[in-house]
Structure 1
Amino acid sequence: MRTIKLLGLLLMLLPISIFAQSTVSGTVVNDNGMPIPGVNILVKNTTKGTTTDFDGNYSIDLEKGETLSFSYIGYRTQDIVFNGNNTRINVSMVEDAEALKEVVVVGYGDQTVKSISGSVASVTEKDFNKGNIVTSESLIQGRVPGLSITKGGGPGSGSEITIRGGSSFNASNAPLIVLDGLPLNNETAAGTRSILSSINPNDIESFSVLKDASASAIYGIRAAGGVIIINTKKGRGELNVTLDVQRNVTKIDNSIDVLNASQFRTLVSDNFPDRLDELGEANTNWQDEIYRDAVSSDINLSARGALFGEIPTRLSLNRSDQQGLRRTSKFDRTTASLSINPRLFDDHLKVGLNANYSNVDNRFAAGVEGSAIAFDPTQPVRDPGSPYGGFFEFRDNDGSASSNVPRNPVAELLQTRNVSNADRFFGNLNLDYKFHFLPALSLVTNLGIDRTESGGAFSRPRTSALGVNAEQGEFIGNLSRYSQKRTNTSADAYFIFDDNYGDFGVKLTAGYSYQKFESESFTTGEILDPNAQGPRTTVADDVVFIGYFGRANLSFKEKYFINGSIRRDGVSKFNPEDRIEYFPSVSGAWQISEEDFLKDSQVISNLKVRAGWGQLGQQDISSTTDYLSRYQRGLSNQQYRFGPNAIVPLQPLYTNPNISWEILTEINLGLDFAFFDDRISGSVDVFERTADDLLSFVPVPDGANFSNQGFQNIGEFVSKGVEINLDYNVIRQDDLNWDVNYNFTAFDREITRLAFGQDIFVGGISGGTGNTIQVQREGEWPNSFFTYAQLYDQSGQPIEGAYADINGDGTIDDRDRYVSGNGQADMLMGFQSNLTYKNFDFNFNLRASIGGEIYNNVNSSRAQLGNLDLAAPNNLPVQVLETGFARTPDVILSDFYLEDASFLRMDNITLGYTLENFNKDSTSLRFWMGLQNAFIITDYSGIDPELGSGGIDNTIYPRGRTYLLGVNYNF
């Protein structure tokens, strides 16, 4: 009887428990009232959840007291408690640029900032550099510790990009760049300036820099230089149109200090008076003549919104016209991009379609700085009686152009037409399907293509003195054309399982990656020269990458994280027996600030420790078939005659069947922290990386192969370093905000093993024949300078040809050269400041490089009095007035020409003013002005200590100072 009563009571209570649960619905909109599709809606402390549809609507069952959490990338998360009465909950979400930092894109997916255990830096649009940004990498120059970006001086020129100083001798040290899931080819297409120059920087939304091996290992054999993931802007629900217009002028602010005409005449008179009659009457500054004030403009128009009211879409157009400082140099770019991101089947299928087109016109200006430095300043630019287009040229008695003399650099610029045009299409289709029967499981497919068709022409007229027909002894000019087609296709497919089991979080990724690079090129050869090689078509060997990868991200109570990955990679560059390798990684993190003893701290708002280990590969060498036995057909004018037949010979080429990739192993320890409600935040990373089996282009013993040099796997070096990043919100008020960032990197690198312990001489320099100034030596930095120790007199002046007898054998020879420095900085620093006061904004970027040396090859090869007595008297750098050096063969190997390369540079300064609600609500008009390359503080006597190639400065393209004006209209 008692059991029946109890059962009846339970049946009476059952309806009460059912009706206690209510169906809650609503609409989620942005601060402009537009619906937001795809908002994540979770019931806190449960596994229940849903997402908004295309119209921003949602519906979910709730019990009284439960909390709904609304989150969406780029917006502040909102929590709302259900009171049991109001079953209609509408939410207006507020955009928050800081929220973008909560999710960071990593290889094949994304992770929350909290769960990341490797060394990953994310830079979003809010923190990008301002100014005349022509190529995308300039957006983050100086913003990330451990990331070095050295920009070239030419318009649209590429940059030397390294992460943590690089990891190879002669293979590529550039990072892998992944654009919207498509890994790019680091080789520049014919007729283009860089792999990023055809991408509109205004289309970039964020960068993720994967610095250590545990973060990069998912990309296997291509990630030894680190990985930079670029994500472009996508469409959103609200309609927004932006027009950006900027105009700038760049002026030369530094040049090589050479003798003026008066000093030159005096020096010739004092040293070679018999040559005074060869001098002219002009007073020409040849460096002023080859440069100009470069006027440039950049226009960006973009629109984003919901196509047909439902499909998030973004369209952008860009036109950039950039003049170079060198006369005739220019870079013109036109781009169009389209992004469509619908969500289908109740948001179970996310579609991302990105299509980009660019057309780039280049005119390349010859590197005439060497001629401008050396050309006689007493001669005029133009000579009305000259047969060479009216330009002055040194001529022999018969009126023909002299040989072994500098050519008129202005004539070379104006009489040379080196132009190119490149069409590039790149894009990808991303499909992310969340299975209906198992929402925790997703299948992601990414298909990408990057195709460039480029071509160009090179020509000079007959009146140019720069080309000669050897048979007829007369100048005939130049004419040649070339073209190239390059295709990069990729296909990735991977599963992601992401679910929680109580306090445990599990995210598993497994997939397959395929990529193929194809290239075909054509050249006419020198059309005007009957003895030149004829037209030739070259089809490069296809390069194919195949990889299988897996990753596990495990968490417990959102406090303890373990991440591991492995990739099985293969590449067609190597012997079939050696082309497969495995690249593992493992890392972990502890979110200490989530522990009970810190959770309620008023001082520490975030504290996390990280540790990671991983291995990477490096396969980026110039030759893709060294493992094969190969033969090269001789040229048409290289023939042997056997009887009546002319035979074109076949020449065997270098082969190394054992060539393989480099292996890099890295350990990383990190600490992330934030204090006082995130007013002060930052990170510290300490790393050690060992690069083994280094690919080097080294000499081969005579008779051992079909070449005297080739690629071999030799050597090992170790890099160690520390990175610090600090963000400080100095002032946080309604009308006044001031944020600063400081980052610091310190390096130490050492070669620990070379083949047979033998030195490898590198770093070719001008002056003499076959001279090198650097060495790879065990126990030293890679590319260390290898010089004589200069001796000085009592007054501190260098004594020409006098060097220290270091080994004490009484003879000065190569055994007395010593390691005197290296061409890489010991420390890198960056400092950024962003200040807003009401409608005003002011920001600037500083960068510093400390330590490291630069070899002044301009002075070492040119600042010698003997150059006044060449076939035509050459002008000299003014340093010769201090040294009085005549001409000693070994003078170029003196450490006297090694200088401190440290500098402090102000990259950008901008000041702007914004008119809010310019002509209607939610519109704005911003006017701004800026200064780029504002100043540099350095002890280096040359033009720029940052632009020396590998630490060697030999007549580089200078960077000028740019003055900018711009306007931004947002409506």
Structure 2
Amino acid sequence: MKMLFKRTLFLLLLLPITTIAQSVISGTVVDATLKQPVPGVNVIVDGTTNGTTTDFDGNYTLSGVNQGSKITFSYLGFRTQTIPFTGQGTLNVTLTEDASELDAVVVVGYGTTTKKDLTGSVALIGEDDFNKGNNVTAENLLNGRVAGLTVNTGGSPGSNSEIRIRGGASLNASNDPLIVIDGLPVSNVANGTRSIISSINPADIESFSVLKDASAAAIYGNRGANGVIIITTKKGKQGLKVSFDSQASVSRLTDKIDVFNAAEFRSLVTERFPDRVDLLGNANTDWQDAIYRDAFSSQHNLSVSGALADNLPARLSVGYADQEGLRKTSSFERTTTSLSLNPRFFEGNLKIDFNANLNFERNQFAPGIEGNALQFNPTQPIYDPNSQYGGFYEYTGANGLILGNVPRNPVAQLMQTQDIASVRRYYGNFKVDYKLPFYEPLRAVVNLGLDESTSDRFYEVDRNSALGTNAEEGETLGQRSDTDFKSSNRLFDAYLVHTKAFGDFNTEVTAGYSYQIFENENFTTNNVRDPNSAPPENTISPDVVLLAYFARGNFNYQSKYFLSASIRRDGTSRFGPDERFGYFPAVSGAWQISDEDFLKDSETLSALKLRLGYGITGQQDISSQYDYLSRYGLGDSRSQYLFGDQYYTIGQPFFRNAGIKWEEITEYNAGIDYGFFNGKLSGSLDFFRKESNDLLSSAPVPDGVNFSNQGFQNIGKFTTQGVEFVIDYNVVSNDNFNWNVNYNTTYIDREINKLAFGQDILTQGISGGTGNTIQVQREGFAPNSFFVYRQLYDTAGAPIEGAYVDVNNDGILNDEDKYIAGNGRADVTMGFQSTMNYKDWDFSFNLRASFGNDIYNNVNSGNAQYGNVFRTVLNNVPTQVLETNFVNTPDVILSDYYLEDADFLRMDNITLGYTFDADKMGKGTLRLWGGVQNVFVITDYSGLDPEITNNGVDNTIFPRGRTFLFGLNYGF
């Protein structure tokens, strides 16, 4: 009894001590940016298995905590916090995002890796790195941000872009990179309206992975020749987040082509054409002002992200963009809806990703009327109340009917033309990733993708328009046609991934199968108002099927020595059975030198990695899909056979090349990634060489050899080599002020090594003559080099009209006297970005530069001659004619006088913003910002813009405006 009493007393005395030593703690975990709860945070007592996770509202309760213990709060994407327990009953925690961890994951072909594990040349551009400004199309988010990547976007609203990675790899086949959206490879062909990358809402994009070298892109086989851009869209996360972004902008014309104004034109005609002054009018019209306007645009995006259940993250977004063009009547509207569901089951062993996007676009295309605006007589009015052509002034003869072969009123062309395309596009994928329960190192992945679009294009020219009018009979018909286009892209991928570690040796092996089919159908009514027009046509293009087997292995030892190897057996229906399939191997390795014992404790050098890569990719994307087959088609009225007194339509054979095959591009890459002062300064240096063999080009064939005088052939070889350099520097980093600058530059040299029979191929037609070309493909020179006469000058330095160097001294001026005078592709491109944050203020700007390329000014060469002032009617000409005094020599358009330096420095955008944080707003954050896009361009080029496509030939362009923006970003 006494013993029982003592033991009970001992327990009673021990109870308060135990109560003091072990406590229950609770609290809420929120994120630092939006102050929203973070579900699923791991809350663990250090050194024990005692732990819990936060619930949907970010709340947690943890019992059995001893005083003096340390509690760790951790969640993917946030910095881990460890806090000592000192007896407090409530412990609320704020987690901040760990940017370095977020950036560590890089999406590559059929999988992911980390920056540290990369062996190929791959660039990752995340949301924080995106360009600011009026970015209606997705590719402009990364323009100037990646070494070796150039994006050239036209001025039209929602314009398609020319995208090149390391200069491309082909002469006449596609030079566009492969675009992959959430695992779905898509065609970036415009399909008569806008390309797929123009359809994506930029606000839905989380990151871009740019696979630049063959060792990274070879996993995509015969589509990886021009590099790969992998787009990852935003997904749902735990914790409700609502975001609303809105911006408005106005764009204004920055420059015009210098032509004579009305007063100057009257003086010119009076002086040089005194017998034509009766053709002068009384108006003072600036036709360029008349066809352009201030263009207003707006973009609005709303997204809701959260979890429908503990294991079902979801994100829903809706976006609307409305962009006017500087050219009157042009506009682009896009409505996007995006749904992402990413459930996780069986403790994360079964991952399902469902991404669905439904977009609607309305494109109003304005006809290209810049040429007429430059030529039209500035002394004539826009409107004529007595005109039978819709009240617009037009050139008419004595009978009051429209004249033929004269410029048309450009304002009338705009106002009397409707060209509207309505597009519905659905794209998305359904991906299942299952870790097999009976063997956990093995995962099975199935990815189903679909990209379908339908477009209805309506084209109409008013019946009262001078266009479509019979000049002799005066009959006004106008024009009208309807075109329906349907396209479908379906994908099936299935692959296995085996991941296992053997001590310090880590392995990941992937092997799988891919099938993709493209289908296109086009229906057009042709011109229903013209009885002589062709009847309606329904064209079903042959299916293009791509079939592949692929395998890849990634290996590393002690996370210091890395090796990656892949091979893809790829086939395409574009080629014949004997040439249909090919093998595309790649191998690359890396050495993390900074982790070696002799460097790992360095306080100066924080990262140093050497990369080496080799791979072979292919190219099969040509417009001709079945040239290897014998094919026949019905002729037209120009190819009929007279039998008796009856004409019969005949069947015509098409060009055939039974041995046509893909291009093969072999690429070598050597790179160094570096970092100093714990990552304060970092970057990379890459050297690359690409050898393009069996070039696909639409080239001439000798007479009588084939059923056509030109067709796609494998004709030769050219090489591309260059250097890329990137440096990123965190100049200042503290609680109040952060400043980061980034600079990249690329040097590229391209040279044709071999062409069939060593023959030149003349390319790039120009206006101002009949059948003239200005460029050539020639062995030993860059593709599409300018091929011109060398201009002679007088003693005063003025060009002598029609006088050129007779190179071979034979007294005859012909192609033998032309020479190579540069090309339209830059040798050096640069990008520079600066981002500053001071407390709640942010300020950023982007610069880009291009050096070493030329522009052929076809606007001046085709128009700036006095002889063009009178041709049936009076025509305006560029004032550049005052410099040359050229009159009317046809071959002046082939003079090197019209080749100009295209170097430029452009400030793409500048942005200033202020953020009202949660403490000031009460709930959520609000950022107000303003900016300017296309701020300035420094260049010696005399035309509108030195940054053009068309291989450097400027024959009038849709101008880029200077855009002033204001926007807000609100989230809670």
Q: How does 1:522-561 map to 2 (within 5 A)?
A: 522-561=523-562
Letter in 2 for 1:231: T
Q: Is the 8 A contact 1:33 1:92 kept in 2?
A: no
Q: Structure 2 vs 1, CA of residues 300 and 925 (structure 1 numbering), >3 Å: closer, same or farther?
A: same
Give the match for residue 116 of structure 2. Answer: 114
Change (3 A) 1:965 1:880: same
Offset, 1:310: 4.0
In structure 2, distance between residues paired with 1:39 and 1:660: 56
Aligned twin of 1:76:
79
Native 8 Å contact 1:508 1:551 kept in 2: yes
Cα distance in 1 between the residues matched to 2:129 and 2:759: 47
Residues of 1 paired with 2:137 and 2:45: CA distance?
Answer: 41
How do 1:698-717 and structure 2 match up within 5 A?
A: 698-717=699-718
Following superposition, the deviation at residue 97 of structure 1 comes to 2.8
CA separation in 2, counterparts of 1:379 and 1:123?
53
Are the equivalent residues in 1 in contact too, given 2:41–2:73 (CA < 8 A)? no
**Deviation of residue 485 (structure 1)?**
1.1
**Matching of residue 428 in structure 1 with residue 400 in structure 2:** no
2:835/2:845 contact within 8 Å kept:
yes
Distance (Å, rounded) in 2 between the aligned partners of 1:121 and 1:58 = 42
Deviation at 1:468, TM superposition (A): 3.0
Structure 2: distance between partners of 1:705 and 1:806: 35
Q: For 2:903 and 2:508, locate their aligned partners in 1 and report how far apart those are by CA, in whole Å.
A: 46
Secondary structure at the aligned position of 1:589 is classed as strand
In the TM superposition, residue 577 of structure 1 has moved relative to its aligned partner by 1.1
Report the CA distance between 1:812 and its aligned residue.
2.7
**What whole-Å deviation, never above 9, does each CA across 1:37-73 have from its counterpart, x for those lacking one?**
59899999xxx9x9989979999xxxxxx99999765
Unaligned runs of 5+ in 1: 1-24, 60-65
Residues 809-830 of structure 1, C-alpha deviations (whole Å, 9 max, x = no match): 3333221110011111110000
Structure 1: distance between partners of 2:605 and 2:636: 72
State how far apart, in whole Å, the 2-side matches of 1:58 and 1:589 are. Answer: 46
Query: Which residue in the other structure is 1:618 paired with?
Result: 619
Q: Given the superposition, is the C-alpha separation of residues 757 and 68 from structure 1 closer, same or farther in structure 2, using an over 3 Å criterion?
A: farther
When residues 572 and 260 of structure 1 are mapped into structure 2, their CA distance, relative to the original with a 3 A threshold, is same
1:833 is matched by which residue type in structure 2? S
1:599-653 Cα offsets, whole Å, 9 max, x none, are: 1110011110100000000001001010011111234897556569764321111
Q: CA deviation at 1:193?
A: 2.2
User: In the alignment, which residue of structure 1 is the partner of 2:181?
Assistant: 179
Using the alignment, how far apart are the partners of 1:690 and 1:41 within structure 2? 56
Structural mapping, 1:235-634, within 5 Å: 235-469=236-470, 474-634=475-635
1:679–1:863 Cα change, 3 Å: same
Shift of 1:81: 12
Q: Which residue pairs with 1:156 in the alignment?
A: 158
| Offset at residue 671 of structure 1 (A) | 0.3
CA contact (8 A) 1:786 1:820 kept: yes
Partners of 1:109 and 1:217 in 2: how far apart? 14
Counterpart of 1:762 in 2: which secondary structure?
Answer: strand
Work out whether residues 467 and 477 of structure 1, in 8 Å CA contact, stay in contact via their aligned partners in 2: yes
Partners of 1:503 and 1:28 lie apart in 2 by 39
> What is the CA distance between 1:360 and its match in structure 2?
0.3
Helix, strand or coil: the match of 1:480? strand
Counterpart of 1:20 in structure 2 is: none
1:318 corresponds to which letter in structure 2?
G
Q: Which amino acid aligns with 1:74?
A: G
Call closer, same or farther: CA 1:397–1:354 in 2, change over 3 Å: same
Three-state SS of the structure 1 residue aligned to 2:198 is coil
Name the counterpart of 1:141. Answer: 143
| Distance 1:58-1:670 versus aligned 2 partners, 3 A rule | farther
Unaligned runs of 5+ in 2: 1-24, 63-68
Cα 1:922–1:739 change in 2 (3 A) is farther
Which residue does 1:885 correspond to in 2?
Answer: 886
1:54–1:343 contact (8 Å) kept in structure 2:
no
* Structural mapping, 1:31-42, within 5 Å: 31=31, 34-36=37-39
Q: Contact 1:533–1:635 (CA<8 Å) still a contact in 2?
A: no
Taking the aligned partners of 1:964 and 1:739, their CA distance within structure 2 comes to: 23
- CA distance in structure 2 between the aligned counterparts of 1:581 and 1:379, rounded to whole angstroms: 63
Distance 1:469 1:38 in 2: 76
TM-score, scaled relative to structure 2? 0.92
TM-score normalised over the length of structure 1: 0.93
Structure 1 match to 2:97: 95
Cα-to-partner distance string for 1:496-526 (whole Å, 9 max, x where unaligned): 1112111101011111111110111111111
- Aligned partners of 1:91 and 1:544: how far apart in 2? 54
Sequence identity (%) = 57
Q: Using the TM superposition, name which of 864-873 and 116-125 deviates more.
A: 864-873
Distance in 2 between residues matched to 1:935 and 1:502, nearest whole Å: 57
Kindly indicate whether the alpha-carbon contact (under 8 Å) linking 1:27 and 1:35 is maintained by their aligned counterparts in 2. no
- Structure-to-structure mapping, 1:779-794, within 5 angstroms: 779-794=780-795
The farther-off stretch of 209-218 and 275-284 is 275-284
CA contact (8 A) 1:774 1:785 kept: yes
CA change 1:164–1:355 in 2 (3 A) is same
Deviation at 1:76, TM superposition (A): 3.2
**Code of the aligned partner of 1:278:** L
The CA deviation string for residues 726-745 of structure 1, in whole angstroms up to 9 with x for no partner, is 11000101010000100000
Question: What is the DSSP-based 3-state SS (H/G/I as helix, E as strand, rest coil) of the residue aligned with 1:890?
Answer: helix
Q: Is 1:721 matched up with 2:722?
A: yes
Mapped to 2, the partners of 1:759 and 1:622 lie a distance apart of 22
Q: Distance in 1 between matches of 2:250 and 2:967?
A: 12
Query: Does structure 2 retain, via aligned residues, the 8 Å contact 1:248–1:962?
Result: yes
RMSD: 2.9
Matches of 2:576 and 2:141 in 1, distance apart? 40
Residue 36 of structure 2 contacts residue 240 of structure 2 at CA under 8 Å; is this kept in 1? no
* 2:939 corresponding residue in structure 1: 938
Which whole-Å CA distance do the structure 2 matches of 1:435 and 1:42 have between them?
32
CA 1:79–1:553: 2 relative to 1, 3 Å: farther
The alpha-carbon distance between structure 1 residues 278 and 101, as it changes in their structure 2 partners (threshold 3 A), is same
CA contact (8 A) 2:370 2:957 kept: yes
User: Do 1:167 and 1:691's aligned partners in 2 also have CA atoms closer than 8 Å?
Assistant: yes
Take 2:74 and 2:819, find their aligned partners in 1: how far apart are those partners? 62
In structure 2, the residue corresponding to 1:413 is in which secondary structure? helix
Amino acid across the alignment from 2:425 = R
Q: What count of residue pairs does the alignment treat as equivalent?
A: 937
Does residue 189 (structure 1) correspond to residue 196 (structure 2)? The answer is no
Q: Structure 1 residue 189: deviation in Å? A: 2.0
Distance 2:637 2:255 in 1: 48
SS in structure 1 of the partner of residue 440 of structure 2: coil
Aligned twin of 1:170:
172
Contact 2:432 2:447 in 1 (8 A): yes
